Amino acid sequence: MQEPLLHRRDIPFFHNKTEQEIQQDPYERFDPMVLRQSALHLADDLWGSYPMQPIIDFSKIIPSTSPLKNIVEIGCGVGRWIAQWAKEFPNANCWGMDYSYQMLKRANEVWIKGDLIQLNLSRYGLPSNFQIEKTVLNNLHFGLAKAATLPFNDQSQDLVVSSFLLDRLDDPIAGLKEMKRILKPDGRILMISPLNFSRAKHWETFHPPIKIYKTLVDLGFKILDWQEDILIEEPLDLRGNSVNWKCIGVALGNSGYPPS
């Protein structure tokens, strides 16, 4: 693994994200992004259960063929999914990578430092002092990197996971190629995405989802599982308003073709 270029408050930076880049990145905004992601992923009691449970359920579909030693999540946000893996596989070295320093700072507070965190969710009609449960996982780390340039060695990861990321990337193909580069020959990728592309050109290239299927095959992935109708309901507020996401869930292995 590459050495970080710098650290900012315990978070290793593998990309030298400038102040200008930080200011331009919507995922650095605290209220609409970090607070909302915290409420969604770290406050199950508010909703009665974990709203993103279909992601976890999808994880159980394809067990890995080899013991999991290295697991990475790309676009980990506040770290819930990679923390789940770290808990389940305490001997695995787990990394959550994201391009947002603010998301990583929150992930680090919750899963590594075990800080006491209170969320003020009053502007959603929810409590002003919701307390997040502390958990400390010694086999989990977080780092700042771009999906297209990850700091991991070739063929080093047993499992690469990502949720709600593919459609956010400037260059989804570069992100997929990078996941493949770091995957061990018998490794697995699990990916869930609503394919709610933010760019018109990505709708043209990747919709309908069969185009992604073909792209994955062309990139040399073996499709181990393909689901097009995973429904996730994201709660918005106390009133019960919500957003529905229709996601694809894909489990991938290396097909060995085309030769690398």
Our CB check for ligand SAM shows the closer of 6 and 210 to be 6
Our CB check for ligand SAM shows the closer of 70 and 163 to be 163
By CB under 6 A, the count of residues binding ligand SAM is 16
Q: Per rule CB under 6 A, is residue 59 in the interface with ligand SAM?
A: no
Name which of 224, 259, 260, 248 is nearest 64 in CA terms. Answer: 224
Our CB check for ligand SAM shows the closer of 84 and 163 to be 163
Our CB check for ligand SAM shows the closer of 118 and 198 to be 198
How far does CA 207 lie from the centroid of its chain?
22
Could you please report the per-residue DSSP string of 68-134?
--EEEEES-TTSHHHHHHHHH-TTSEEEEEES-HHHHHHHHIIIII---EEE--GGGTS-SSEEEPP
Site string for ligand SAM, 79-108 (x = CB under 6 A): -------------------xxx--x-----
Token output for 230: 């995973």
Q: Per rule CB under 6 A, is residue 147 in the interface with ligand SAM?
A: yes
Residue 168: strand, helix, or coil: helix
Residue 222: strand, helix, or coil: strand
We find the least distance from the C-beta atom of residue 80 to ligand SAM, in angstroms, to be: 8
Listed ranges 69-77, 83-91, 115-123, 204-212: which one lies at the site for ligand SAM (CB under 6 A): 69-77
Residue 57: strand, helix, or coil: helix
Applying CB under 6 A, the residues found at the interface with ligand SAM are 27, 74-77, 98-100, 103, 146-147, 163-165, 168-169
